[in-house]
Structure formats: C-alpha cells, structure tokens
Amino acid sequence: MRIIGFKNYEEMSQASAQLMKQTILENQTANICLASGGSPERTYQIFSEIVQDLDLTSLKITKLDEWCDVDPDSEYSCEKYLKERVILPLKLKDHQFIRFSPMSDDYVSECENVHTALMENPIDLCILGFGKNGHLGLNEPHEFLQPFAHVAELSQTTRHHAMIETNPHIIKGMTIGLAEIMASKKVLLQVSGEGKKEIFERFMSKKLDPYLPASFLWMHPNVEVYVREDQFQL
C-alpha cells in the first residue's frame, strides 16, 4: 500500500484525475469503477475535462453502488450523480456504463447482472471514498462480509449519508462485493471529509477487521491511498 499526502482537496483531486487518465492511456478498454459522494466530486470534474481528446469509445465505467428504491433521476441517486459528472460530459454510450438500476423490481437479479458483467470486464481502477464507518461501497461493517455484488442493509451511519439523510425510507442498497473490489488491478482510496479521524486511525493500525471493511485493502497488492493533510495527520 502506498500512502500519499496532499496539501488540500484540490491537489488530491488533481492527482486522482491524472491517475484515471493514465489508466486510459495505458489501456483504452479499461473499466474504471467510480464511487459517488463528496470526496471524488472534484476528481470527476477534472477528469472529464482532461480526457476530452482521448478515444473513449471502448472505455467502461462501473457504478460502485446504488441506493434501493430511488428514482434514477432523483438528486439522491448515484445514477444521476455519475451521469451528470462523467457519463454525459464524456458522451459515453449506455453499453459503456455497468450499473445497478435503483428502481428495479428485482434487486438480486440486478446484483447478479453486475457480477456477471464484472466477470467479463474486470475492474482496472477502482475509485473508493473512505466512509465514516470504514465501509467500502455499501459493504457495511458486519461480522462477515460478502464477496460479490449483493443487496446490503444500510448501517445507521450510512442512513445519515448526505445523499439520503432526508429519505428515511431508504434502508437498503446494492453494491459490488469485497472480492470484486479486491480483484481490481489497482485501487485508489481517497481519504477526505470531516468526522473520519478516529476511523482512519483504526485503518492505519493495519488490523483486518470486518467491522472496518476498508481494512481489507491492506491485503491488496496495488493500492494508493490519497490523504488530505489539511484534515488528517500521517
């Protein structure tokens, strides 16, 4: 694991976007898995600007997770978040976007479809945020963790996520599993945001803990952790 500190959010975002671009330069058929939320937002804005001159016709984007029972056009959906920031600005086609449908009548089948797609299109770069409870995607703290894409019960911490805190009916989500994240050729974990100091210190202890899913990234052979030094001490 390579841990790199950056002075602020902008520097972290610039470096993250450059890493995404480099992934495409090395492999035009790359599959990049994207998280939603505040941490990567500026990254995606920069990325969408600096790859406009590249051939993106074979690029694939995988949506890391999605809330269940949310309208895809809702401001709360991960679908809308990624479409507005990446899919539409880059004019990617529907077949280039691997994702869970938030309004599906069969969430289990949605997860099976995503798992099948990832078997055929393994993730080259997985962009992850560092959640306040140490979750990865919606792989929540629990006595055991799921290897493949699945429907997850949201923890109380996640139910207060900024994207859904005004929607108490949202209690489940769909997410790719730990094995699918670990199968990524490279992982970028962004550590940014308030209220995460204690959980980051636990992460830095290097102890594998199912109640801190992010800790399992210590087992991955190719992880970069980008940390905001204006918020966290290395």
- Per-residue pLDDT of 61-84, as tens digits, reads 999 999 888 888 888 889 999 999
Instruction: Decide: 118 and 149 in contact? Cβ < 8 Å.
Output: yes
Residue of 66, 124, 140, 180 marked catalytic: 140
> Is 140 an active-site residue?
yes
pLDDT (mean) for 139-158: 90
Q: Is the pLDDT of residue 167 over 80?
A: no
What are the extents of the domains in the chain? 2-203+220-228
Cβ contacts of 69 within 8 Å, gap of 6 or more = 102, 103, 169, 170, 172
CATH topology of domain 2-203+220-228: Rossmann fold (3.40.50)
pLDDT band at 163 (very low <50, low <70, confident <90, very high): low
Q: Is the pLDDT of residue 16 over 90?
A: yes
Q: How many CB atoms lie within 10 A of CB 188?
A: 25
Q: Is the pLDDT of residue 166 over 60?
A: no
Residue of 31, 135, 139, 150 marked catalytic: 135
How high is the pLDDT of residue 162? Answer: 62
How high is the pLDDT of residue 22? Answer: 98
What residue has token string 């050729």?
A: 185
Q: Which of 165, 163, 177 has the alpha carbon at shortest distance from 213?
A: 177
| Percent of the chain at pLDDT exceeding 90 | 79
Dist CA 24 CA 176 (whole Å): 22
What residue has token string 């401001």?
A: 75
How high is the pLDDT of residue 110? Answer: 95
Lowest mean pLDDT among 8-22, 153-167, 205-219: 153-167
Residue of 65, 66, 110, 180 marked catalytic: 65
Lowest mean pLDDT among 23-37, 69-83, 162-176: 162-176
pLDDT, tens only, 84-132: 999 999 999 999 999 998 878 899 999 999 999 999 999 999 999 998 8
In the chain, which residue ranges form alpha helices assigned H by DSSP?
9-26, 41-50, 78-82, 107-120, 156-159, 178-182, 197-203
pLDDT (mean) for 135-162: 86
Q: Which of 155, 118, 119, 115 has the alpha carbon at shortest distance from 135?
A: 155
Dist CA 217 CA 233 (whole Å): 20
> Is 135 an active-site residue?
yes
Residue 46 dihedral angles phi and psi, to the nearest 5°? -65, -45
Cβ contacts of 49 within 8 Å, gap of 6 or more = none
Buried/exposed 49-65: b ≥16 CB within 10 Å, e otherwise? eebeeeebeebbbbbbb
Residue of 27, 121, 133, 167 marked catalytic: 133
- 116 secondary structure, DSSP code: H
